[in-house]
Structure formats: C-alpha cells, structure tokens
Amino acid sequence: MLVALWCDDYFESEWCGQEFGVFQERIRRATEPGGKPPAGIIPVPWLVREAEVPEAAQELHIAPIELGRKYDKMPVLDLMRHPVAFAEYVSLLAYRVMDVARDQLPPLAADAADRVRSPFHPES
C-alpha cells in the first residue's frame, strides 16, 4: 500500500506522481472486470493545499480518516498541536493501514514500473 502525505509539493513531484501511478496500475491489475477496486492508497492530508487535488487522485477508492469534529479538515501537521485528536488520528490511521493491507496488490515488475508516468503530469 501507499500512504501518501498530500501537500502541494507532493502533487508537483514527478517522482511522487510516478509512485502514485505505479500503485494505480497495481490496483487496476487487482480489480476484476466490473468489480470493486481494492484500496491501496491511503491519503494523509499533510499540509494545507493551495492547489486542487489532481483529477487522478480524486479517484481513490477509500474514505478519508475522519475524527467527527472540527479536526476533520485539519492537516496532520496542524493536528499535531492537539495531542488528543492527533493520537486518535494516528490510531485510526494505523487501523486503516491494517485494513488496507488485507487486500494484497499484485507486484509490478521493475521494467513495467519504469514505464509508468505521473498521472499528475500527463503531459510530461
């Protein structure tokens, strides 16, 4: 699985985009025709984003981690200033990782992974 720390720099990074694309391809290969794709990417809002989330990242098949109160829209770096809420978030994230880990994604050979391009920068 991929735990992606979302911020503007993440979506601007060619390397992060390629890694994201590799996981999208692994999810695609694990999905039966007409079936529900397994979760393989866990988005973690790391910093406040100025830019929109790229369209490729809006297709995630996993719900965000929610604390059910004012902290839900707060990025993790800000959440760290609220120890109780941060501890709850980390606990929920750990459970989400365990849930997602149950769905094993097929590996992607190194040569195939090298051909994957960033879905955040389709023109490159």
pLDDT at 34: 92
Tally of CA atoms within 13 A in the half-sphere of 68 that contains its CB: 2
Domain coordinates of the chain in residue numbers? 2-115
What lies within 8 Å, CB to CB, of 64 at 6+ separation is: 43, 45, 72
Is residue 41 within 8 A of residue 20, CB to CB? The reply is yes
Radius of gyration (Cα) for the chain, nearest Å? 15
pLDDT digits (tens, 9 = 90+) for 74-107: 888 999 999 998 998 899 889 888 988 888 899 9
Is residue 20 within 8 A of residue 51, CB to CB? The reply is no
Q: Decide if pLDDT at 14 tops 60.
A: yes
What is the band of 12 on the pLDDT scale with cuts at 50, 70, 90? very high
Structural element, H or E, at residue 44:
strand 41-45
